Amino acid sequence: MRDILPDDTGRWRRLNQVFADVVGAAGYGQIITPLIEDVGVFTRIGEATDVVTKELYAFEDRGGRHVSLRPELTASVCRAFAQHRPAALPWKVWYTGPNFRQEKAQRGRYRQFDQVGVEVLGVDDAHLDVEVIALASEFYAQLGLTQVTLVVNSLGEPENRAAYVSALEAYFADAELTDQSRATLARNPLRVLDSKRPEDAAAIAGAPQIAEFYSDEAAAHFDTVQAGLARLGIDFVVEPKLVRGLDYYRRTIFEFQGGTLDSAQNALGGGGRYDGLVEALGGPPTPGIGFALGVDRTLLACDDEGVFGADDRPLDVFVVDVVGGAEALAITAEIRAAGLSADRGFDGRSMKAQMKLANRSGAKYAIIVGEQEMADRTVIIKPMGPTDQFTTPRDEAAQLLVKMQTEASRTESDYP
């Protein structure tokens, strides 16, 4: 688990804002669910997933309740849907926040990590799959990321998937696999296709393909999704070996892979269509689709691509008061009230020390108050560039700075 410090927090905020704007424009409303749920909410995600079997931060609280920190949000959103039974469908929600998984931490893999995501419940339309994928795509584009590959697949209907799983079991039973993949085969045969171990590559390359098992309906759904993505000009790659953890996934699944990250951590985000989760959590049978995008990893990808940098919002004004500090108290308050950002020196430091702070703060202007200015009820305004300083009536300083700032941003040049 990590601390996120200024100035990094600034771009976390901006990232959330970009996401909120993209999905807000498509009619999604924000949902905030608890960080802790009954552990049963998460075990429904799938008994055969690592997230549930190995990584849950589950514990018994003082009331003897079995609870867990959330490892993701899809299950929580489905639980909320089952509980509140919204009448208007589709129910389109988005979320942002931290999740917890006991993983082996490394670059791009943390025990507390943030996701932004959406879930849409109550509609089976393939065009919704396209909308959802397009939103994630648009989000990455707005961050400025260009090296992101969209990979899509369809797992077909549950019966198609079941038939495929049986075929995989039969095929892999006689294939050359590592011990780890043998163990995966016993738990979750689809997941064997995920193995990145070179010793498994040949066996995986020869494995049966899911498309051979699609029903006509499943094939048509997937065709519509692909045609829709093409219509919107969204590039994608069909990857028949893409599988995702959740037991409830059916039909469309997708992943966004970053071009700059290690392959084990290159999934920036992913999602898919699922059935049965709402039902398992006590609601009516309800189709769902959603995605979750990893914020931590997305920002690493931004670093690697040199886009969406850390915040650089220099201060507008730094107040230097060498007559005790009470003037700085009042002046910073006035400047902030006038809509500019302002900071000041503390502890009665010398003029030189405070000017150093002013420089370091990145402020565009310093206001200087000395003995003479106090006596005259004036202040010195010093642009922190090559321009000369000047003296102005103290009570007009805040408004004058606002005016100078507006003009400077209008002409993109320094005042005066």
Residues that bind ligand AMP (CB under 6 A): 72, 101, 103, 108-110, 113, 115, 267-270, 292, 294, 296-297
Q: Which residue is nearest to ligand AMP (CB)?
A: 294
Closer residue to ligand AMP (CB): 267 or 335: 267
Please, what is the minimum distance in Å from the beta carbon of residue 233 to ligand AMP?
Answer: 24
Check residue 136 and give left, alpha or beta (phi > 0: left; psi -120 to 50: alpha): alpha
Locate 314 and state its tokens. Answer: 């220099």
DSSP SS3 for 293: strand
In the chain, what is the straight-line distance between the N-terminal and C-terminal CA atoms, in Å? 48
Q: Are 358 and 344 a contacting pair, CB within 8 Å?
A: no
Q: Are 196 and 264 a contacting pair, CB within 8 Å?
A: yes
State the DSSP string of 54-122: T---EEE-TTS-EEEE-S-SHHHHHHHHHHH--SSSSEEEEEEEEEE-----BTTB-SEEEEEEEEEES
Closer residue to ligand AMP (CB): 101 or 394: 101
Closer residue to ligand AMP (CB): 272 or 276: 272
Please, what is the minimum distance in Å from the beta carbon of residue 72 to ligand AMP?
Answer: 4
Please, what is the minimum distance in Å from the beta carbon of residue 362 to ligand AMP?
Answer: 32
Q: Are 286 and 97 a contacting pair, CB within 8 Å?
A: no
Closer residue to ligand AMP (CB): 257 or 354: 257
Contacts 24+ apart (CB under 8 A), 352-358: 354/320, 354/321, 354/322, 355/320, 357/318, 358/318, 358/320, 358/384
Closer residue to ligand AMP (CB): 99 or 154: 99
Please, what is the minimum distance in Å from the beta carbon of residue 283 to ligand AMP?
Answer: 21
Please, what is the minimum distance in Å from the beta carbon of residue 292 to ligand AMP?
Answer: 4
Please, what is the minimum distance in Å from the beta carbon of residue 300 to ligand AMP?
Answer: 9
Please, what is the minimum distance in Å from the beta carbon of residue 139 to ligand AMP?
Answer: 13
Q: Are 299 and 308 a contacting pair, CB within 8 Å?
A: yes
Please, what is the minimum distance in Å from the beta carbon of residue 416 to ligand AMP?
Answer: 49
Residues 6+ apart with CB under 8 A from 240: 153, 209, 210, 211
CB atoms < 10 A from the CB of 400, how many? Answer: 17
Closer residue to ligand AMP (CB): 125 or 194: 194
CA distance 196 to 267: 13
DSSP state of 241: T
Q: Are 128 and 90 a contacting pair, CB within 8 Å?
A: yes
Closer residue to ligand AMP (CB): 101 or 251: 101
Closer residue to ligand AMP (CB): 72 or 321: 72
Please, what is the minimum distance in Å from the beta carbon of residue 374 to ligand AMP?
Answer: 55
Closer residue to ligand AMP (CB): 28 or 110: 110
Closer residue to ligand AMP (CB): 109 or 191: 109
Q: Are 339 and 404 a contacting pair, CB within 8 Å?
A: no
Q: Are 150 and 133 a contacting pair, CB within 8 Å?
A: yes
Query: Whats the size of the chain, residue-wise?
Result: 416
Closer residue to ligand AMP (CB): 79 or 344: 79
Locate 380 and state its tokens. Answer: 């010195």
Q: Are 404 and 396 a contacting pair, CB within 8 Å?
A: no
Check residue 156 and give left, alpha or beta (phi > 0: left; psi -120 to 50: alpha): left
